Amino acid sequence: MKKILSLVLIVSFVSCTDLELEPKNGLVESVAFENFDGYQSYIAKVYASLTLTGQQGAAGQPDLTIINDEGFSSYLRVWWKAQELTTDEAIIAWNDSGIRDLHNHAWGADNQFVRVLYYRIFYTISLANDFIRAAEDLPSGLTPAEIAVIDEYVAEARFIRAFSYWHALDHFRNVALITSITSALPTQVDPEVTFNFIETELTEIENDLLPAGQANHQYGRIDQAAAWMLKAKLYLNAETYIGTDRYADCITEVNKVINAGVYSITPNYQELFMGDNHFRTDEIIWPIVHDGLVSQTWGGTTTIIRGAIGGAMSDDEKNDTPSPNEAENDYGVPSGWAGYRTTSSLVSLFPGAATDPDGNSPDGRAIFFTEGQALEIADVGEFTDGWAVPKFNNLEASTGRRAPGVDQVSTDYPVFRLAEAYLMLAEAELRSGGSIGANTLGYLNELRVRAYGDNSGNVTAGDVDLDWILDERGRELYLEATRRTDLVRFGRFSGGAYIWPWKGGVDVGTSTPAHLDIFPIPSSDLIANPKLVQNDGY
């Protein structure tokens, strides 16, 4: 079983306009931080805030109390929805208030999923701020080794804060920059200020993080390569965020990852998204860790896996007492939730898939379920309209059996992986110089050989332009929370340059307003803090 940081959940939910934290379990700070264990428990909570939802198992004592279903408040779950359900990659059958507005491009400042994303981002920022503050004045009696580890934890907390601020910048653009615990109402800053803060933080902590790929630290901890990847993604989107070309800097950071020599492309694409991906791959640079036994959530990869299963996929999932020692079905979960499936626009990216009864393509990254599923979507509320996409599952590639857990899963979520570094390098080279280098072409064809099983899908430098890059990112990274950001960067998200089924709430798709490239500041925060100004168009 994977090792993860122990969880002692000691802080309560706060909104971004009320940033005073107090221990939830009644411990005063001098007791909570009297020894090394207190700091280890707290940094575990900071990490856990990226997917877990409260203080008690999969549900109970929630961090956020602004939504009825605690599972909806998982950071990974709401981030994934914002990145995927708004695009051509996923559309959902559920009818929870506001959820279909995401694909319809009809959300407003009162949408509950936009609101939860906003507050979840700032909740994690608040936790990170408080951990950093708590580590400024360490108690006596700590050993030099313990102090050194706490210093590493501080760097990791600063990374998680920067990661969350990147999401705030990407999704909401005009946000408050809060780096300390205060009850004062914050004001928004220009996007360039937030951008510069993220960049500076990642630069300052680089040498305090564990070396890239260091094998002797706890699995899932942040290291230097994660910081390089986050900086590269910041730079790749700099023109979108602040109107400045930073592609040369993106190339520098991505090359650090590639040249570290500790990551490699996993031969089997599917194994990246299975229940034992924590030890089956050297491609994942930084995951959000899940364990179906000891870190349970109704969000995270549990939602991504179970939400993709329905219709004929669920026929054999009737075992009421599933065992982690038996491969009880094709996906490693007791049942599906008949939630999201994809549109024909994603299917069309894979050669031959749309005309094959089983959705097969020479490109082996096409993972579709077609039995009983219509390719085109007549009824958004009918799961069998649209092909299912069980890219993620909870089976162990090593054994074929279900990974640990009953209702929850153990599949880790790959936030950053080497394949995306290759694609980012190619895009940055194209945008900065108009062509890709020979090494970069080799990296792209490494992905193509994995996809096709041989060199029949290989490309030449002349084949690789920005349109090809966007399509290849779709083929390689679908359902990995990159699509909305990619479409915005390429000018294909809002407007009429790219139309997909049910964009704008119309079956054939339609143009949508440009202000939708970012989300609104929630009405609840505008009411709580009169210093805040709503984003244009809302």
Instruction: Please name which of 484, 518, 296, 507 lies closest in space to residue 407, comparing C-alpha atoms.
Output: 296
Contacts of 10 (CB under 8 A, 6+ apart): 23, 24, 25, 27, 32, 41, 42, 45
Instruction: Please name which of 294, 313, 289, 254 lies closest in space to residue 437, comparing C-alpha atoms.
Output: 254
Q: What b-and-e string marks burial along 98-123, b requiring 16 or more CB atoms within 10 Å of the CB?
A: bbbbbbbbebebebbbbbbbbbbbbb
3-class SS of residue 465: coil
φ and ψ at residue 213, rounded to 5 degrees: 70, 15
pLDDT score, position 321: 46
Contacts of 99 (CB under 8 A, 6+ apart): 81, 85, 92, 113
* Alpha-carbon span 528 to 444, nearest angstrom: 49
Residues paired with 291 in a beta bridge = 295
Cβ(287)–Cβ(412) below 8 Å: yes
Half-sphere exposure of 511 (CA within 13 A, CB side): 6
3-class SS of residue 227: helix
pLDDT score, position 181: 80
Token representation of residue 357: 């009864």
- The distance from CA 131 to its chain's CA centroid, rounded to whole angstroms, is 23
Give burial (CB, 10 Å; 0-12/13-18/19+) of 30. exposed
The β-bridge relationship of strands 284-288 and 413-417 is antiparallel
- The helix or strand, by DSSP H or E, that contains position 284, with its residue range, turns out to be strand 284-288
CA torsion through residues 85, 86, 91, 95, sign: positive
Provide the angle, in degrees to the nearest 10, between the axes of the packed helices 144-172 and 191-205. Answer: 160
- The distance from CA 163 to its chain's CA centroid, rounded to whole angstroms, is 10
Strand extents, DSSP E, 32-95: 91-92
Helices and strands in the chain: count of H runs, count of E runs: 18, 4
* Alpha-carbon span 299 to 74, nearest angstrom: 5
**Taking every pair of C-alpha atoms in the chain, what is the biggest distance, in angstroms?**
69
* Alpha-carbon span 224 to 155, nearest angstrom: 10
- The helix or strand, by DSSP H or E, that contains position 415, with its residue range, turns out to be strand 413-417
Contacts of 428 (CB under 8 A, 6+ apart): 232, 235, 236, 247, 248, 250, 251, 254
Instruction: Please name which of 195, 233, 227 lies closest in space to residue 208, comparing C-alpha atoms.
Output: 227
pLDDT score, position 19: 38
* Alpha-carbon span 450 to 98, nearest angstrom: 39
pLDDT digit string (tens) for the chain, length 538 residues: 344 333 333 333 333 433 344 434 344 565 578 899 999 999 999 999 998 876 666 566 666 666 666 656 789 999 999 999 999 999 999 999 999 999 999 999 999 999 999 999 999 999 999 999 999 999 999 999 999 999 999 999 999 999 999 999 999 999 999 998 878 899 999 999 999 999 999 999 999 999 998 744 678 999 999 999 999 999 999 999 999 999 999 999 999 999 999 999 999 999 999 999 998 899 999 999 999 888 778 889 999 999 999 999 975 444 444 444 333 578 999 999 999 999 999 999 999 999 999 999 999 999 999 999 999 999 999 999 999 999 999 999 999 999 998 899 999 999 999 999 999 999 999 999 999 999 999 999 999 999 999 999 999 999 999 999 999 999 999 999 999 999 999 999 999 999 999 999 999 999 999 999 999 999 999 999 999 999 999 9
Instruction: Please name which of 89, 411, 399, 472 lies closest in space to residue 272, comparing C-alpha atoms.
Output: 411
> Residue 356 to residues 360, 361, 366: CA-CA distances in angstroms?
6, 8, 12
* Alpha-carbon span 226 to 427, nearest angstrom: 19
Instruction: Please name which of 406, 451, 393 lies closest in space to residue 273, comparing C-alpha atoms.
Output: 393
